[in-house]
Each structure stands twice: as structure tokens, then as C-alpha cells.
Structure 1
Amino acid sequence: MSIARFSPFELLLLKSRSQVDTATLLLLAWVLVHRQHVSEGQRRRRLAQVTAQFRHGHELGPIMGIAHSQDLQAIQLAAEVVRKECSKEQSLSVLHQAITVATDDGEISLNNHYILGFLADLLNVAPTTFSTLFQELTGRPLRSAEDPSRDAYWQVHDPEYHARKQRDAQAAKQKAKDAQTKAEQRQRENKHKQQNKQHQKDQAQHEQAQRERTKQQQEGARQERARQEQARQRERQHWKQEKKRPYSPPDRTHRALAVLGLTPGASRTDIRRAYRRMAQLHHPDRFYSGSEHQIALASARFQRVKSAYDYLMQNI
């Protein structure tokens, strides 16, 4: 159930550590706000003094506000809570406190005459018992009073009561509706802003990742071109050196050693190492991005290296 459907007093009851104490607090506050010639500060101090041992656990301000608003439904609810949860002795104790705070200065206002009778009726205290209790506490008899639990009482004493309550209820309902509309609008705006922000963040991350991939690809291509260029330079240098050497028809072993870049007397370990190095250097897969001519030349060189290695491993 939405919190907006609870009245202020119902919310206090839900939050209270002791609903009986909260209900009693409202009944006493209702009496205090009808004390004549008493300031608001004096009313609050007196209420705090009387209820010092209560265990309600909330501030007195909201209770005083409800009492000032003359919320009869809240007061009836408070009386119902006390009547339901308290024994007869406890109910009499509540009425005792109400009479005490109503007659502290020896005088009782006309409103409190009605209010005390109303509380006695709601708390199921017999009129004779109420009159006896009042005389014992004040030393004088209680005059008869009208019954404020009837609509006729409010029509006499406050003809605008029901109309005012209806206007207040409609105004509160409209205010709550306007607040809900504004809250929903703010929620939609915040959601839209969050979606835009997340979209911008995702777009920025995507663009950054794309730039990183492009940069890595460019760097990889540059390094590959550099390796190929180094291999070609080594090959050109090798063939230049070969051309400078005086020609002397070597035998097959010398030729095989020369292909692997070795000199006579090389061991089988040297041959294996040289083969691995030359095979990596001239393997056709390294030239996959080159032209068909380059791939064909690489295949031929690799085949010469492999043939030289096979021959040497069989004959040395």
C-alpha cells in the first residue's frame, strides 16, 4: 500500500514503539491545545512532562500538529487503540491524565468540558465514574456537556468544520497528485539523461577501441615490413659477398655448408642451428603478403636450405 494513503497519525502509529503511548499522547495533546491562556511552548513542555515515561520513540511536534488540526478521525482512532489495548484501570489512568492537564490552572475551558466527556465515552468510562473521578481530582462537580461525538455538536460549534475538512482533503489530494506527476516527470528526465550519458560513454569506448585496433594493425604491418626489408638486405649482402669470392668449383659438402652459412668443420649441432635460422628466414609463409614472384623465390630458397640440411645430416 502506498504511504500516501495513510494519514499522518496512522504513519505515527506504524512507526511508534508503543501504539498505546502514541494514542494517549494525541488524546492529551488534544486536551492541551484547548487550554486557555497557555502558550504553545507551555503546552509542549506540559505534554513532555506528563508523558516523560512513555515509550513512543518519536517527536512531540507532529502530535501537536494533528491535535491543532482538530482531526476527529485521528482522535477517534487514538481512543479506539487505547480502549482496545488497555485494561479498565489503564483507561481510567488515561482519563485521569486528561483531567489533570485540562485543569492545571483550576479552570477548564468549555471545549475541554466536551472533550473530556467525549474521551470518557470513547474509553467506555461510565458517566458516574467520570463525574466522581473529576470531582476527586478538581474538588468540584463536572457540569453536563454536549456530546461532541455527534455531528450536531460540530454543526453548532463549527458549521464550517465538514466543509473545511472536505476542502483540505481535496487540496491535499491534488497536491499529492501534482507531486506524483512531478516526481514521475523527473524520473523520466533522469532516465533519459542516464541513457544518453551511457550511450555517449559506450560510443567513446567503441571509438577508442577502434583506434587502438587500427594502431596495433598499423604497428604490426610496419614491423612486418621492417623484418622483410631486413631479410632482403641480408640476402643482398650475402649474394654480394658470394660474388666477390673467387670462383672455385666446390664439392657438394662445401656447397651445402655455404647454403647454411657454415664453414668446413661445422658440427651437426651447428648444422641444426643454422638450418633452423635459415628455415625461419626463408620460409614461404613469411612472404604471404608479397607477390607471387616473391613467394616463388622464397619457396626455392627454402627448398635449397632443406636439401642442404638433409644432405649434410646424412653425410657428416
Structure 2
Amino acid sequence: MSIARFSPFELLLLKSRSQVDTAKLLLLAWVLAHRQQVSEGQRRRRLAQVSVHFRHGHELAPVMHIAQQRDLQAIQLAAEVLRRECSKEHGLGVMHQAIVVATDTGELSLANHYILRFLADLLGISPGTLNTLFQELTGRALTTPEDPSRDAYWRVHDADYYAEQAREAEAARQRAQEAQEKAEASQRQREEAERARAQAEREKAHHRQQRERSRHQERGSHRQNSQQGTSSTPPDRTTRALAVLGLMPGASKLEVRKAYRRMAQLHHPDRFYTESEHRIALASARFQRIKSAYDYLMHTYQ
């Protein structure tokens, strides 16, 4: 079988003088990799201290690298080796070393809160036993870890992160508000444009109606004038009759009689018997108009 099929940790186990010690080494390195405010050199020196009596026979750097890669398959394999090869007391000893490594220089990190519980579960150690062991080694209870999904955690542990989250939320809120304001402004502009178009249409319709009314009025006036021009009533007959007799409107009955006698003497056809037939015919027509005007006026004055 080619060794290329084996994972890095499996190769370490194959080459190790003690697979149990190599497995313990990886679990302790995993805890050290999650220590806060600890340099890489400090982690390696601390790992060397706790493994000084181990019989693995290989370098620590490959183990630390696997731990820093968060290779959970390697972690589970290490726990299986311990559970298979070691007694319950040996598992408690590994848990003891893990608690010491996680807490000997300060508070337990959030990651190691979960790692210790994970290791206890892999090694078959009950939560009650873990809490008792932690209390004996640190003098304090293993409390429930804080929830990093809550804002309260980041306010305490990473104020900069929380402030950045708050800034991003505020920026998102402002962007949403600006987008809403732009949408509302655009909607108002569309409504104003629509109202302007409607107003323009109404004004156009009003102007069209006015022009139509004007045209109708002009046509009606033209028809009326035409009718008046074609069917206008003649001047007053009394006025015409007085004019034939050479009188003005308002002349009295006596004045009509006098005017008639005078006009009859001047235009009677008998006076033109020596003239031509044409002159006699004209005189007869004039006399007839005078006689008709006189008769009409006399009838009117009755």
C-alpha cells in the first residue's frame, strides 16, 4: 500500500514509538492552538514542557501544524487511539493535562470552552466529572460559555468588531433610507409629471372647446347676418309713403292732404298729353305712387 494514501497524522502514528503519546500530543496541541494572546514560540515551548516524558520519538512542529489546521478527523482519530489503548484513569489524566494547558496562564478562551467539552465527550468523560475536575484544578466552576452569536458577547470581547458591526448596520440602514427616499422622490416626480400632463390635456381640451364655441358662434353670426341680409324687413311703409309725398315722419293728416294736392297737380298725367307716350307713361306711374301713398296714409290716420 502506498503511503500517499495516509493523512499526515496517520503517517505520524505509523512512525511514532508510542501512538498513545502522539495522540495525547495532538490533543494538547489542539488546546494550545486556541490559547489567546500566546505567540507561536510560546505554544511550542509549552507543548515541549508537557510532553517532556512522552515517548513519541518525532518532531513537535508537524503535530502543531495539524492542530492549527483544525483537522477534526485527526482529532477524532487521536481520541479513538486513547479510548482504545488507555484506561478511564489514563483518559482522566489526559483531560487533566488539557485543562492545565488551557488555563495555566489566564482565562479559558471561548474556543477552549467548547474544546474541553468536546474532548471530554471523545474520551467518554461525563459533564459532571469534567466540571468536578475543572473545579479541582482551577478553583472555579466550568461555566457555560458565552454565545458568540449575541451582541453582548462582542461588546465585551471585541468592541472594535461590535463597533464595526454597528457602523455597517447604520450604513445599511442609511442606504435603505436613501433608496426609499429616492424611490419616493421618483414616485413624486412621476406623479407630478402625470398631473402636469393631465393639466396640459385639460387645457388643450378647454382651448379646443373654446375654439369650437367661437367657430359655432361665428357660423351662427354669419348665418344670422346672412338671413338678416336676405330677409331684412323693408323700411317702414308709412315713412316711404311720406317720402313719396315729400314729407318727413310725423307729418299731420292736414299736411298729407296739402302735399297730395300739390303733388297731384304737378304730376297728373293730363298735364303731359302733348308729350310722347313714354313721358305720359312715366307720369302715370308717378301719379299712381302718389295716389297709393296718399290712400295708405289716409287709411292710417283714421
Instruction: Give the TM bin, normalised by the shorter chain.
Output: 0.3 to 0.5
Q: TM-score with structure 2 length normalisation?
A: 0.48
Higher-Rg member (1/2): 2
Q: TM-score with structure 1 length normalisation?
A: 0.46
